Chain A
Amino acid sequence: MARKSPEVNAGSMADIAFLLLIFFLVTTTIETDSGINRKLPPMEELIDPPVIKERNIFTVVVNKNNMILVEEKLMDLSEVRSAAVKFLDNGGGVGEEACEYCEGDKDRSSSDNPEKAIISLKNDRETDYKVYISVQNELVAAYNQLRDREFLKLYPNERMSFVEANKKYSDPRTSVKVKADLKPKLDVIKKMFPQKLSEAEPNKS
């Protein structure tokens, strides 16, 4: 008869596991980075740059003292968003260029319609990055505000805003069916308020 082998003491197993657990606890960073997505213009210059009317351009300049000039007027960062919304939503065009869904002032000296409206962001080489990001953030917020409004107006049954819908669309957990349903709706809104934000090369100083 085989001799009964002595049982291995498993009492220290918990200690070992705890040690490993604490190691992984400390090294874990459950981080998902987030930020403002941008697309850079390709390098090749357009041979024939399209002519853009002055009233369709909304110039934002951040100078080296981190002061913000919007359409040549000094402005506080907190006012940038509403100024951008006012410009984008103006819809001053007539005839073919009219904008049916705009709720702005229909001022002839401001943008014709959101599709034509371009925001041009210019900075100095000595501008602080954080100020630049704040301005970018406010301009994106202006677009999002208008997109939210139109999304709620057109698709009240979705019971969410454009930003939420966009987040849901890019969430990998969302089913294919829901995505296919959301995509055309998002595209419609994106076409109504296309994000035309140009980042000019900075001034040499």
Chain B
Amino acid sequence: MSKFKKKKGGDLPAISTASLPDIVFMLLFFFMVATVMRDNTLMVTNKLPAADQVQKLDKKDRVIYIYAGKPSSRYQSKYGDQPKIQLNDKFSVISDVGAYVLAERATKREELQNVLTTALKVDGETNMGLISDIKQELRKVNALKINYTTRIGDYTQNK
């Protein structure tokens, strides 16, 4: 009796798909880890202006976001088409900005409270008056580090 018996039949065995779930799970875990869920639904148009002298924003937990721009088309019948500020999930007025920043700051960990950045995600078509008002409010609550969030691109795209 030979130990090394030649297998009978020359047909190829089926490729095992048993490891397919493993591969898919691996991909799944990658995307689960890399996913950042959008925590705010945008209610304003948000076509950021382009700039190329940019610096990366700090880690997510050190940033307070303020959105501004014209209300999106489905909100325009209710809120008009003048640029508005969006804080969290609702439209706000200028006087709310200070309170919002203070409230957001209070939710952050204590050691981060002094290094917070306020990211202004403002639509390119907005007038500077609104932004100046926001800046004044931020100065009042001593949130002095700001970041004008932009797309990366040449300034000629801002036409």
Contacts and interface: CB of A to CB of B under 8 A. Distances in A.
Contacts of A125: 127-129, 132
B127 A130 contact: no
Contacts of B49: 129-130, 133-134
B128 A132 contact: yes
Interface stretch (A94-102, A136-144, A153-161): A136-144
Q: What band does the interface of chain B fall in when counting residues whose beta carbon is under 8 Å from A?
A: 35 or more
A13 B22 CA distance: 9
A75 to B, nearest CB: 14
A29 B122 contact: no
Interface string B134-159: 01101110111111111010010010
Contact of A35 (B55, B131, B155): B55
A126 interface: yes
A14 interface: yes
B94 interface: no
Contacts of B132: 123, 125, 201-202
Contacts of A170: 55-56
Contacts of A30: 34, 36
A8 interface: no
Interface stretch (B4-12, B24-32, B85-93, B103-111): B24-32
Interface residues of A, number: 52
B54 A27 contact: no
Contacts of A202: 128-129, 132
Contacts of A59: none
Contacts of B14: none
B158 A21 contact: no
A35 B24 contact: no
Contacts of A34: 54-57, 149-150, 152
Contacts of B139: 40-43
Interface string A161-205: 000001100100000000000000000000000000001011000
Nearest to B33: A24
Contacts of A67: none
Interface in B70-123: 117, 119, 121-123
Contacts of B125: 128-130
A187 to B, nearest CB: 17
A27 B37 contact: yes
A165 to B, nearest CB: 13
A5 to B, nearest CB: 19
Interface string A100-127: 0000000000000000000000011111
* 9 A-B pairs closest in CB distance: A125-B129, A130-B124, A130-B49, A24-B31, A35-B149, A137-B51, A17-B24, A134-B155, A140-B53
Interface of A: 10, 13-14, 17-18, 20-21, 24-25, 27-43, 62, 77, 123-134, 136-138, 140-141, 144, 166-167, 170, 199, 201-202
Interface of B: 17-18, 20-21, 24-25, 27-28, 31-32, 34-38, 49-57, 63, 117, 119, 121-129, 131-132, 135-136, 138-140, 142-150, 152, 155, 158
